[in-house]
Every structure is written in structure tokens, then in C-alpha cells.
Amino acid sequence: MSDNKKKRVSVILGLQWGDEGKGKFIDYLVSTLSETQKLLVARFQGGSNAGHSIEFGNRKVVFHSIPSGILEKNTKNLVGAGVNIDVVSMKKEIAEIKDIAPWWKENLFIAKEATVVVPTAKLIEAVQESERGGGRIGTTNKAIGPTYGDFYSRTDDLAVYEAEDDKVFHKRYEEIKESHLKTLSGKYNFQPDLKALAEEEEKFFDGVALLQTLNIVPCHSFLQTALKNGEQVIAEGAQGTLLDVRFGTRRGVTSSHTTSAGACVGLGLAPSDIGTVLGVCKAYVTRVGNGCFPTEIGGQEADKWSTTHTRADEENLNYDVNDSVPLKQGIALRGLGNEYGATTGRPRRTGWLDLPLLKYAIALNGVTELGITKIDILDTLNEIAVCTHYEGQDEVDISKLAEAKPVYKIFPGWKKDTKGFTSLADIPKEMKDYLDFIEVETGVPISFISTGPKRDEIIKKV
Ligand code: GDP
Ligand code: IMO
Ligand code: MG
């Protein structure tokens, strides 16, 4: 077998239902590695449905389409071919980082094969979600499903290379718009508000005008040149493994391939290019949106609560994270972890670490090392539960997940403040036992333990 270390592509992706802390990890790694290596961070799928938060000093930035390496001067960033680009959102993101990343323009590259999200796709998504009724997915409303749908049906998709030239773009755009409006009126009997649409179009055209000024490159050859030049590529995943369109918890998933294989199809890489696969995983689990969640604290009652309440409703509840009522405990954990969507602000459902699903995600991605985040959020818990298996189910079968009955092992909490810890020697014994158990059960080494949202709040284990 060949030596993995010679491979210059590392994949960093989420092992749960998203929001594991991928943004923080990438920013941290880039800030440390860029001192000695030439780096290129390449987003391989998703779009503005992603919300990757990075905190430094007293600033917080949330990236949706722009890769998380942009804050480091000597790092290139590529929005890969597998990404759906929301040009309106991208323009806002750029405005937000202009002062802290004045090099953004020379360091940002856009794959010409990527797809551009058009305003009418958002209207289609809204109508589709309402048609789904009780079966609605709870999407982020960023037109991810319709845009990938158009791409795979090879009809109403707009490629970046088509948007590059104004003449081609306007012709293509009008064709797509007409087709979408036909679908809206014919299939869904929906007549859009044309004035509101014209306003959205205006913002969209501004976004396309900005896109046309960026470095637009052919994805595959751009990456091959970088690899030949000795650059280290970090493929940045969005969403999480359990939201993968094929192997995730269907149908409450996103519309792209969120696994390490997705890095190949989204960037034009060969599987043999990939060396390290760093799986990012929270010390507990969250999920935003609909769909099964075996270890949800408070079960169905909690699921219903989180879809019918907002952050403001929960702000003054002051529930105790050790409350014996699971619904209240889950809400309290949400408060401690600030588990409200970075993109939509929705409450994220909270649950215990689920080892069967974690092992499933590790195997799907070929994870070589783990990064555990938000361990500090468990600091005040008396007890921490971990699902070791499901009653009567030896293997994860996604089609049977809704019936899964988790069996838990209970760990004593450490009841100590560990926020910001940077040394392994300082961590409490109970935390070490908890992390050792994860390592032994999964058979994958934990390389990093994140103890806070900031760049330097991290323990490097190996
Ligand atoms: P991503 O989508 O995977 O990048 O994750 P998000 O940014 O959506 O959500 C993770 C949240 O947790 C963000 O607000 C981060 O700033 C924060 N965060 C990341 N790692 C840690 C950690 O170790 N401890 C704490 N307390 N917060 C963290
Ligand atoms: P990051 O990259 C968490 C969820 C939505 C919904 C489902 C489908 O920040 O981890 P979509 O808009 O993609 O069609 O919605 O996927 N979802 C995410 N949940 N983090 C994300 O991204 C997500 N992106 C999409 O809530 O359940
Ligand atoms: Mg997120």
C-alpha cells in the first residue's frame, strides 16, 4: 500500500447532522499549518445552506459559501465545482470580511463548473416545502434541492462559465426563469409576486456582476497544478455525513454528497489523492430540521418543541442541564451550547452521542482521525449518556432508524470548567475516560479536542 503521508489532500468534514464545528477546525488548522506549508482550502459541496462560524478576538464571522481559510493571508480558497453558489449571499459575505481579509480577492478562486443559484429556484423550494405538508424537510430555504435537481436533470442549471459572459448569461438566465415560472404556475398553480421577484433579480444581477470580476478557474486542473506545486489541499465539507443525499437519514437530508467521496466528485479529485480524513464530531449531537434522531433528549416531545419555539421563547426559561425532565434538559443543553442555527437561527435539536451512527459515518468516510468539539459544553453535567448500540439491531440500517431504541452507557460528569483548555495534562479524569471510550469504541484516534469557539481553544492530542 502507498504511504498516506505523501498524499496532499486532506478532507475535513462533519460526522453528524452538521454544525459540528468544521469552520473552527479549518480556521485553526490553516492558522497553524500556513506558517510552514502552502495551503489551499477547497469547498466541495453544498452552498449557502452551510453556516461555518469562526471566532477570533472579539469578532465572529459566519461563512456560507466562502471557504474557511480566507482569514489567513497565505492561503488560497477555492469554491469547488460541486458547490451551488448563491451570489447574493456571497456578496454579503465578502462585504463582511473585506476589512479583516483585505487579500480576499487575490486568494479566492471560483470553479467555472460550479452552479449558480437563481432567484426563481428559491420560489420553487418554498412551494415544494409547503406541498410536502407534514413530510416537509425543514430546509434552509437556500434553493439547494431545486438547484441540484436542475443540475442533475441537465436542463435549468446555470454554470459559472455561462454566467461569466454577460450576453450568454442573460440569454441563459431568461430561459431558466421562463422554465421555472412555467413549473410554478403549471405544476404548483402558484403565481409569484413579480414585483418582489424583480427586487430579488436586481440583487442577483449585482451578485453576478461581482462574480464576473473574480478569479474563475477550471476546477480539476487548478487543483492538479496546486498539487504539482506542492500545495497542501484541505477539502472542506459542508453539512454532515448524516445529511448525505444517499447515505444520510433520508429524506431529511440535503441534496449533495457530504462524504469524503463527495470531495472527489465535487472537486474532480481521484480517491487516491486523499490522505487524511479528519472527521469533526461534537461531544454530543445536534440536528436542525426534520427527520429521525434516535438519541434526541426528550424524544418526540423535544422534536415538536424545537419546531414550534424560537430562541426568544427559550431565552428566559433558565432550565437546568441536570433537570430530570428530558425535555427541559435538552433545552438547557441547547442554551449552554448556543445551539441555534448559524444560517437560519432555528433551535437545533439536542441529543446524546450516538456511537452506532458515529461508527457508520467513520466507515462511510474512511475517517483516519477525529476532532471532538464542544467538550466544554458538557462541563456542568452530573452524568453524560452515550448510546452504545440499538436494541436488537447489530448494524445501522437507515431505513429502520426511526424505530431504533438506543441503549445507553452513563458516564459521570467532570463538573469542572474546562473552557479554553489547551493541554491534555489538564483535563479531568472523567473527561479522559469519556474520550478514551470514544477512541476505543470507534477504533479511530482523537487528534484534537476543541474546548471553546476561539482558534486557540483547542488541545492537540498527537
Ligand atoms: P460548522 O457548520 O460545522 O462549521 O459549525 P457551526 O459554526 O454551525 O456551529 C458550531 C458552533 O460551535 C459555532 O458557534 C462555533 O463557534 C462553536 N464552537 C466550535 N467549537 C467549539 C467548542 O469546542 N466549544 C464551544 N463552546 N463552541 C464551539
Ligand atoms: P453546516 O455546513 C446543519 C439541514 C437543514 C435540513 C436539511 C436540508 O453549517 O454544517 P437544505 O437547505 O440543505 O436543503 O436542507 O439539511 N442542513 C443543515 N443542518 N448544518 C448545515 O450546514 C446544514 N445545511 C443543511 O436544516 O434539515
Ligand atoms: Mg453550521
CATH of the domain at 92: 3.40.440.10
Considering 19, 27, 150, 273, which one is annotated as catalytic?
A: 19
CA-144 nearest atom, ligand 2: 14
Mean pLDDT in residue range 357-376: 98
The answer to whether residue 358 is domain-embedded is no
Q: Which residue type sits at 131?
A: E
Q: Which residue's alpha carbon is at the smallest distance from atom 11 of ligand 2?
A: 139
Which residue do the cell numbers 482521525 mark? 369
Q: Measured between alpha carbons, how far is 418 from 77 in angstroms, rounded to an integer?
A: 33
User: Are 205 and 238 in a shared domain?
Assistant: no
Query: Residue 376 has what pLDDT?
Result: 98
Q: Is the pLDDT of residue 299 over 50?
A: yes
Query: Residue 424 has what pLDDT?
Result: 97
Mean pLDDT in residue range 285-304: 96
The answer to whether residue 245 is domain-embedded is yes
Arithmetic mean of pLDDT over the chain: 96
Distances (CA, A) of 92 to 61, 104, 119, 193: 12, 13, 16, 24
User: Are 105 and 222 in a shared domain?
Assistant: yes
The answer to whether residue 361 is domain-embedded is no
User: Are 43 and 22 in a shared domain?
Assistant: yes
Among residues 252, 280, 308, which one ends one of the domains?
Answer: 280
Q: Is the pLDDT of residue 337 over 60?
A: yes
CA-338 nearest atom, ligand 1: 14
Active-site residue, 52 included: yes
User: Are 83 and 229 in a shared domain?
Assistant: yes
Q: Is the pLDDT of residue 95 over 60?
A: yes
Q: What is the pTM of this model?
A: 0.97
Mean pLDDT in residue range 94-111: 97
The answer to whether residue 381 is domain-embedded is no
Rounded to the nearest angstrom, the distance between the alpha carbon of 429 and the centre of ligand 2 is 35
Taking the CA of 248 as reference, the closest ligand is 2
Ligand 2 proximal residues by C-beta, below 6 Å: 14, 17-19, 49-52, 137-140, 142, 144-145, 238-240, 243, 252, 254-255, 288-289, 342
Active-site residue, 309 included: no
Considering 52, 64, 180, 389, which one is annotated as catalytic?
A: 52
User: Are 106 and 15 in a shared domain?
Assistant: yes
Q: Is the pLDDT of residue 1 over 70?
A: no
Taking the CA of 417 as reference, the closest ligand is 1
User: Are 110 and 243 in a shared domain?
Assistant: yes
User: Are 16 and 99 in a shared domain?
Assistant: yes
The answer to whether residue 241 is domain-embedded is yes
Q: Give how many domains the chain has, as a whole number.
A: 3
CA-53 nearest atom, ligand 1: 7
Query: Residue 6 has what pLDDT?
Result: 64
User: Are 38 and 132 in a shared domain?
Assistant: no
Taking the CA of 68 as reference, the closest ligand is 1
Distances (CA, A) of 449 to 52, 377, 420, 460: 18, 12, 10, 7
User: Are 33 and 109 in a shared domain?
Assistant: yes
Mean pLDDT in residue range 408-436: 98
The answer to whether residue 192 is domain-embedded is yes
Q: Which residue's alpha carbon is at the smallest distance from atom 5 of ligand 2?
A: 139
User: Are 53 and 19 in a shared domain?
Assistant: yes
The answer to whether residue 35 is domain-embedded is yes
Rounded to the nearest angstrom, the distance between the alpha carbon of 352 and the centre of ligand 2 is 19
Is residue 83 within 8 A of residue 266, CB to CB? The reply is yes
Query: Residue 341 has what pLDDT?
Result: 87
Expressed as residue numbers, the domain containing 203 is 116-163+165-211
In sequence order, the β-bridge partners of residue 56 are 59
Confidence of residue 2 (pLDDT cuts 50, 70, 90): very low
Q: Is the pLDDT of residue 384 over 90?
A: yes
Distances (CA, A) of 422 to 28, 31, 58, 374, 437: 13, 16, 19, 13, 21
Q: Measured between alpha carbons, how far is 176 from 164 in angstroms, rounded to an integer?
A: 16
CA-286 nearest atom, ligand 2: 3
Say yes or no: CB of residue 452 within 6 Å of ligand 1. Answer: yes
Q: Which residue's alpha carbon is at the smallest distance from atom 20 of ligand 2?
A: 18
Q: Which residue's alpha carbon is at the smallest distance from atom 26 of ligand 1?
A: 452
Any idea what the CATH number is for the domain that residue 178 is in?
A: 1.10.300.10
109-135 residue pLDDT tens = 999 999 999 999 999 999 999 999 988
Q: Is the pLDDT of residue 419 over 50?
A: yes
Higher per-residue confidence, 400 vs 342: 400
User: Are 146 and 71 in a shared domain?
Assistant: no
431-454 residue pLDDT tens = 999 999 999 999 999 999 999 999
User: Are 220 and 266 in a shared domain?
Assistant: yes
